[in-house]
Amino acid sequence: MWLYLFIALGLFCSALRIPIMLGKIGINSTRVSLARLDKKQYYCIQNFFVQKNGASIDYVIISRYGIFVIKMSTQKGIIEGTEHSDTWTQQVLKRKRRFANPVKQCKIQAKAIRKLLQTNKIPVIPIVVFGMSAQLKIKVNTHVILANNLLNIIYRYDQEVLTSSEMEKIIKEFNGYTSQKNIRKTRIYNVKDILEERKRLVDADICPKCGNKLVIREGKGRKYKSCSKYPKCKFRHGL
**pLDDT confidence of residue 198:** 76
The structure's pTM equals: 0.67
pLDDT of residue 185: 43
158-171 pLDDT tens trace: 999 999 999 999 99
Whether 157 and 232 map to the same domain: the answer is no
- 134/237 same-domain check: no
Residues 172 and 213 in one domain: no
How far apart are alpha carbons 91 and 93 in whole angstroms? 6
Domain match, 116 and 196 both = yes
pLDDT at residue 190, as a whole number: 46
Do 71 and 188 fall within a single domain?
A: yes
User: How far does the chain reach from its first CA to its final CA, in angstroms?
Assistant: 59
Q: Do 139 and 169 fall into the same domain?
A: yes
217 and 138 within one domain:
no
Q: Which residues of the chain have pLDDT under 50?
A: 2-3, 6, 8-26, 52-55, 180-190
Domain limits for position 64: 2-203
Q: For the segment 100-130, what is each residue's pLDDT rounded down to a tens digit?
A: 899 999 998 898 898 888 888 899 999 999 9
Quote the DSSP letter at residue 82: E
Helices 191-203 and 102-117 pack at an angle, to 10 degrees, of 150
